[in-house]
Chains A and B, each alone.
Chain A
């Protein structure tokens, strides 16, 4: 038995221990289901909801719509401009 086979045998032993200890079948009945994402396909027509997203800043011409990030990007952008951005750029170059 060479070195690789010894490693494989050890791995098998570990794997079998794990399989035995994992309560795989029992867990199948558990109600630990994660969250179902909202359905993306519906019959209700959304044409009338246009104005909610449109807001007054939205021009009628799609070509004029500006892409401005609000939400948490407002804080994130500020943070990146300072320390963090430098750090991540350095890291990126290394990576």
Chain B
């Protein structure tokens, strides 16, 4: 790097530092424009990534959260959609968590959905299913959609998510609607993955959840059948194919 480049680098890094860290409320009008734009863009972006959370906490809280998050997580990819992963952790450590403990799970759920909804879908290689007829089940592995993620919650996050997503942005669900969701038992295990046409969210029971974890941990079909002898593999593989969860066997 030439000497000239270093001076350019210095000016640019210093300017970035001023925007991110210097208090401009009394100072430079121009710097304030850059700081306001950064903050408002961050807030808007976070509201797009976390639409349900935004409806739950309201605009003002999103304003403060985005401001705090800019300090905890620097944008670095050039695409605002990549920014915001640290929000669930930030909420967990915020004063919101005591009164609203479900928010961390909602935020986690939304981040996972956000990632899956932007991922590529891989169609099933149905020829590879023939590996099940093979002798070597110890060397046969199920490959799931790369976007497939699972999570747990003690709160009815799927119901809350659906309820808020069915409202327009400005609407807040009624107390009655919220109560209905809160009183509805969910399994507490969720699987989110990119599908052929939509990003799918499926509530599963404990046994299926553990089975999926086994697959992700790299267990062979033989090992899975050993560990989960009661699990109905045949019924599962049919439903997993319908849910677009499997890409191939290898």
Contacts and interface: CB of A to CB of B under 8 A. Distances in A.
Main secondary structure of the interface of B (DSSP, over half): helix
A95 B242 contact: no
B218 interface: no
A88 B155 contact: yes
Interface in B20-59: 23, 25, 32-34, 36-37, 39-41, 43-45, 48-49, 54-59
Contacts of B233: 7-8, 10-11
Which bucket holds chain B's interface residue count? 35 or more
Contacts of A69: 56-58, 61, 96, 99-100, 103
Given A47-B34, A47-B40, A22 B129 contact: no
A76 to B, nearest CB: 6
Given A45-B33, A72-B56, A73-B57, A27 B137 contact: no
Given A9-B133, A69-B57, A34 B198 contact: yes
B150 interface: no
Given A8-B221, A72-B55, A73-B100, A58 B198 contact: no
B63 A18 contact: no
B60 A58 contact: yes
B238 A24 contact: no
A50 B39 contact: yes
A32 to B, nearest CB: 5
A50 B48 contact: no
Contacts of B173: 72
Contact of A55 (B25, B60, B225): B60
Interface string B224-244: 011000000111111001100
Interface in A6-40: 7-19, 22, 24, 27-28, 30, 32-34, 37-38, 40
A95 B99 CA distance: 21
Contact of A8 (B56, B65, B137): B137
A70 B196 CA distance: 37
Contacts of B99: 69, 73, 77, 80
A27 B197 contact: yes
A12 B126 CA distance: 10
A41 B61 contact: no
Nearest to A54: B63
Contacts of B49: 37, 40
30 contacts: A4-B137, A4-B225, A5-B135, A7-B225, A8-B132, A8-B140, A12-B133, A14-B237, A15-B238, A34-B198, A37-B114, A40-B49, A40-B80, A46-B37, A47-B33, A47-B36, A55-B60, A58-B63, A61-B23, A65-B67, A67-B94, A69-B58, A69-B61, A71-B55, A71-B61, A72-B164, A76-B56, A76-B100, A79-B178, A84-B182
Interface of A: 4-5, 7-19, 22, 24, 27-28, 30, 32-34, 37-38, 40-41, 45-50, 52-55, 57-58, 60-62, 65-73, 75-77, 79-80, 84, 88, 91-92, 95
Given A17-B238, A58-B63, A70-B60, 14 more contacts: A4-B226, A7-B234, A8-B233, A12-B129, A13-B234, A15-B126, A15-B238, A15-B241, A27-B197, A67-B94, A72-B56, A75-B175, A92-B154, A95-B152
